[in-house]
Amino acid sequence: MRPIIHVAIAGAVASVLCSSAVAATRITSGMASFSSDQQDPVQLSLESFDRALGSLQSVIVECFDSGRVAIKADNDDPYHAGRAQVRMIRSWMASGPDVTAFADETILSRHSVTLAKDNGDGRVFDASRPDGHNFGILSYSHHLVGPFHPLPLSLYETVGPGSVIFTVTPLLMINDLSFVGPAPQSYQLELQEPVLRVKVKVKYVYHLPEPSSLFLLIGGLPVLLRRRQALR
């Protein structure tokens, strides 16, 4: 009977430990912001998973990007009009442990506007009609790239508090006009607040033991031990 008692105790421990695993999540994120593709890459230092918290089960990485610009235009060509809409291009890359994210966004304004030939203001910027136009703000937001499931999980784990590094690089930022048909030979643009923002989010899914179940196990062990003694 002794082997049976040993097996029973071991089985009880394994059963409680497995059933007491409580799923938990932890999220860390960082954001990089750019006004030009000539800017240097930005390094984001995100919180790693501390092994003291529990047993890491999975890592989920998601990237989100957004962009905006406000544009005014003035046609300086005295001979040619043009019909135009605003074009915004945002291209970027983010890299981290076993993750490489890339996006190339081209956003066009919904409506095109006719810019008449120059009305005599020449090189003096004037966005008033008929040869100019204030196109307002063109923007997009919360575009998702991912999710990614990097492996091995140890790339994101540390003993004690630590960090994982993601590098965000602006590849291309264009803010201009896209013409329907022939374009004027000369025109001016005024840009306000051109921006690209890239957010990197890391989600840790992990298990931690449930204290109440462990206490029940510890309290029940003496009973099993007494039964073992009685069967001797």
Global confidence as pTM? 0.79
For 163-175, the pLDDT digits (tens) are: 999 999 999 999 9
Contact 88, 175 (CB under 8 A): yes
For the chain, give the mean pLDDT: 87
Gap between the Cα atoms of 57 and 52, Å rounded: 14
Average pLDDT over residues 46-75: 97
pLDDT score of 142: 85
pLDDT score of 209: 67
pLDDT score of 78: 95
For 194-223, the pLDDT digits (tens) are: 999 999 999 999 998 666 544 544 555 454
Please state, in angstroms and as integers, the Cα–Cα distance from residue 188 to each residue in 68, 121, 124, 137, 165, following that order. 19, 12, 9, 17, 41
* Percent of the residues in the chain that have a pLDDT greater than 70, as a whole number: 81
> Which is higher by pLDDT, 208 or 7?
208
Q: Closest Cα partner for 114 from 176, 70, 177?
A: 177
pLDDT score of 193: 94
Backbone angles phi, psi at 224, to 5 degrees: -65, -35
Contact 117, 131 (CB under 8 A): yes
pLDDT score of 68: 97
pLDDT score of 122: 83
pLDDT score of 6: 43
For 146-156, the pLDDT digits (tens) are: 999 999 999 99
